[in-house]
Chains A and B, each alone.
Chain A
Amino acid sequence: MNFNFLDLTIIVVYVAFIFFAGSIVKKYVKGIDDYLVAGRSMGFSLGLISLMCTEIGMITYVYFAELGFKAGLASLMVAIPFVVAFLFLGKTGFVIKKMMEMKIMTVPEYFSKRYSKGVRFYLGILMAVGGILNFGVFPGVEAKFINIVTGIPEEYLLYTMVGLLTIVLLYTLVGGMVSVIVTNYVQYVLLSFGMVIITIIGFYAVGWDAIVEAVTVQMGDKGIDPFSPSFFKGDFGFGFLVWQILMQISLLIGWQAVSARLFASKDSKTGQRIYTWSSLMFFARAILPVFWGIMAFAFYTKLGTASEMNGLDALPNLIKDLVPHGLLGLIFAGLLAASMSTYASYLLSWSAIVSQDIIGTAIKSLTGKDLSSKNQLQLSRIVMAVVMIFIIWWSLFHKVEGYLYFYLNMTAMLFIPGTLICISLGVYWEKARTLGAYLAITFGAIPPLLYLIFPEESAKYASEMGYGGFIVALLGMLIGSVIQNVYNPKKVEEAV
C-alpha cells in the first residue's frame, strides 16, 4: 500500500460522510419530479458546482492527461471548443431556453412533443446504448488509476470498484437528484482543492523550462504548435476545432447528465447563467488535467522512462511519485469525490432515459396509460441497479483501442448529431418532420458506428468522421422532411 494511517483515515471519513449526506435527504423526495430534477429548485452556484462535479471524474483527468502526455502543449487546444460552446448557448439561449420552458425531464421527451413517441423511443435506445457504452469504460480505467495511486493489488480492484459503486448506488437510489446535488457540494470542496494542489505541486517539481524542453525536443513543432504543419492539416487545427465545437454544443443540449442540470434549474435565466459561467470552469477543467499529462511527460522524460509508459498511467504515477503522505490522502479523497459524483449523476441520467423514454414509452403505447409517479420512481430505481451491474460487467471485458478521449467522443456521437439537428430544426424550422428526425438520427449514427467497429482503420479520420456525422444528420433531416412534406403535406407539425 502507498497510503499511511493518516491517508487511510481521511479517505474512510470522507466516504462515510458522503454516504451519510447522500442518504439523509431521502425525506425530501416525494415524487418523480423531485427524484429526477430536484423539484426544479436548484440555484446558480449549486447548479454550476453540480455540473462541474458531474463532468469531472477520475476518467476526465485520465483522458485529458493522456492527450497532454502524448500530444504535448499543442493539445491544450482542446479547451477552446468548451469556451465557445458554453458562451454561445449561455448568451443566446439557443434551443436550451425553449427546452427549459417546456419543463421536460429528459432530452428525448422533447421528441415526443415535437415529432412522435416513436422517435422518442428510437432516440432513447440510441442514447441509452451510447451513454452506457461511454459510462461502461469508467470503472475499468479508474480501477487502474486507483491501483497505481493506492497500491491496492489488482486482484482486489474489482471488489474495490464494486464497493465504491454500491455506496454511490445506495444514496442515489434513495435520494435521486437531491442526493446528487447535496453530495456534489461536499465533493466539490475536495475536488477543487485537489485540482489546484496537483497543478502547483507538479509545476513546482517539474518546472516550466523542463516542460518546454521535453516537448520541443521529443515531439518537435507538433508538440507546441497545434496548427503544425498548417491550420488545415494540424492535429488540432480546423477540422478538429469544427468537430469539437459542434460536438460540445450538441453535448450541452443533448447529453442527459448535463442537460439534467438545466432542467433542475429554478428558471431558464438561471440555466443560461450557469452555462455562461461554465465556459470559464470547463476551460480550466480541460487545461489543468492536460497540463498534468504534459508535466508527467516532462518528469518521466527526465527520468528516462517516458517512452515505456502508457499514456493512461502517466497521471496516477505522477501523483504517486510527487504528492507527500497526508496530502496524498486528501488528494485521493478529491479524486474519489470526482468519480463518485460522476457515477451518481450518470447512473441517474442513463437510468432516467431507459425508464422514462424506453420502458415508459413502451408501456404507454401498450396500455394507453402513463405510469403513476410512484411506479416511475420504483422503475427508475430498478433500472439504476441494472445499469450499474452492466457497467461493471462491461468494464471487465472491454478494452479501449486508440485515444480514450476519442472513444468517449464517438460513443456520444452515436446519438449526438441526430439530437442536435432534430432539436434545433424542430425549434426553428416548422417544416421539420418525423421522417426527417428518423433519418437524421440514423444517418448521424453511421460515422461513429464505423469508428467504433473499425477503430484502427478509422483513427486518423476521427475529425472528419466527427463533423461528417453532423453533415449527414442534417442531410437526413432535410431529405426526410421534404419527402414527408411532399407525400403527406396535410399535417404540418407546429415548431415547438
Chain B
Amino acid sequence: MEFWEIFWMVLIIFALISFTVISVILLLKGYGEVKEMLSSLESRNSEEQE
C-alpha cells in the first residue's frame, strides 16, 4: 500500500508541475504563432486574388 501511496503522490505532483511549465511556454510562444498564421493566411489570400 505504501508503494502505491508514494507512486500516486509523485505522479500527481509531476503532472501538476509539467502541465504548469509547459502551459506557460506554450502561451508565450503561441502568441507569435497566432500572428504568423494570420499573416500567412492574409498574404496567401491576397496573392490568390492578384
Residues of A within 8 A of B19 (CB): 192, 195-196, 280-281, 284, 288
Pair B45/A30 contact, Cβ less than 8 Å = yes
Residues of B within 8 A of A87 (CB): none
Point out the residue from B8, B16, B38 that lies within 8 Å of A288, measured CB to CB.
B16
Q: A185-B30, A224-B4 are in contact. Are A34 and B41 (CB under 8 A)?
A: yes
* B26 and chain A: residue at smallest CB distance: A45
How far apart are the CA atoms of A205 and B5 in the complex, in Å? 19
Q: A34-B41, A199-B16, A216-B1 are in contact. Are A76 and B11 (CB under 8 A)?
A: yes
How far apart are the CA atoms of A284 and B44 in the complex, in Å? 37
How far apart are the CA atoms of A181 and B40 in the complex, in Å? 14
* A72 and chain B: residue at smallest CB distance: B8
Pair B31/A28 contact, Cβ less than 8 Å = no
**Does A42 touch B at the CB level, under 8 Å?**
yes
How far apart are the CA atoms of A216 and B8 in the complex, in Å? 13
B6 shortest CB reach to chain A, Å: 10
Pair B30/A49 contact, Cβ less than 8 Å = yes
In this complex, how many residues of chain A approach chain B with their Cβ under 8 Å: the count is 42
Which chain A residues in 30-56 approach chain B with CB under 8 Å? 30, 34, 38-39, 41-46, 48-49
Pair B23/A192 contact, Cβ less than 8 Å = yes
How far apart are the CA atoms of A199 and B5 in the complex, in Å? 18
Which chain A residues in 5-50 approach chain B with CB under 8 Å? 25, 28, 30, 34, 38-39, 41-46, 48-49
Pair B20/A196 contact, Cβ less than 8 Å = yes
B22 shortest CB reach to chain A, Å: 6
Point out the residue from A39, A224, A280 that lies within 8 Å of B41, measured CB to CB.
A39
Pair B16/A25 contact, Cβ less than 8 Å = no
Q: A43-B37, A181-B37 are in contact. Are A28 and B42 (CB under 8 A)?
A: yes
Pair B16/A45 contact, Cβ less than 8 Å = no
A266 shortest CB reach to chain B, Å: 9
Residues of A within 8 A of B4 (CB): 73-74, 224-225
A342 shortest CB reach to chain B, Å: 17
**Does B48 touch A at the CB level, under 8 Å?**
yes
Residues of B within 8 A of A452 (CB): none
**Does A277 touch B at the CB level, under 8 Å?**
yes
* B37 and chain A: residue at smallest CB distance: A41
Pair B16/A43 contact, Cβ less than 8 Å = no
Pair B30/A224 contact, Cβ less than 8 Å = no
* B16 and chain A: residue at smallest CB distance: A199
B31 shortest CB reach to chain A, Å: 7
Residues of B within 8 A of A44 (CB): 29, 33
Residues of A within 8 A of B22 (CB): 277, 280-281
**Does A171 touch B at the CB level, under 8 Å?**
no
Residues of B within 8 A of A48 (CB): 26
**Does A201 touch B at the CB level, under 8 Å?**
no
A275-312 vs B, CB cutoff 8 Å, 1 = contact: the mask equals: 00100110110011001000000000000000000000
* A80 and chain B: residue at smallest CB distance: B11
Pair B1/A43 contact, Cβ less than 8 Å = no
How far apart are the CA atoms of A120 and B18 in the complex, in Å? 40
Residues of A within 8 A of B40 (CB): 39, 41
**Does A425 touch B at the CB level, under 8 Å?**
no
**Does A346 touch B at the CB level, under 8 Å?**
no
Point out the residue from A25, A39, A74 that lies within 8 Å of B44, measured CB to CB.
A39
How far apart are the CA atoms of A41 and B18 in the complex, in Å? 27
15 inter-chain pairs at a CB distance below 8 angstroms, sorted by A residue, are A25-B38, A34-B45, A41-B41, A43-B36, A46-B30, A73-B4, A76-B8, A178-B38, A178-B41, A188-B23, A188-B27, A208-B9, A225-B4, A283-B15, A288-B16
14 extra A-B contacts, CB within 8 A, seeds A39-B40, A277-B22: A30-B48, A42-B33, A45-B33, A46-B33, A46-B37, A48-B26, A49-B26, A74-B4, A79-B15, A178-B41, A188-B26, A196-B23, A284-B19, A287-B11
Please provide the 9 A-B residue pairs with the shortest distance between their CB atoms, ordered closest to farther.
A284-B19, A287-B15, A45-B29, A192-B23, A43-B33, A284-B15, A45-B30, A46-B33, A28-B41
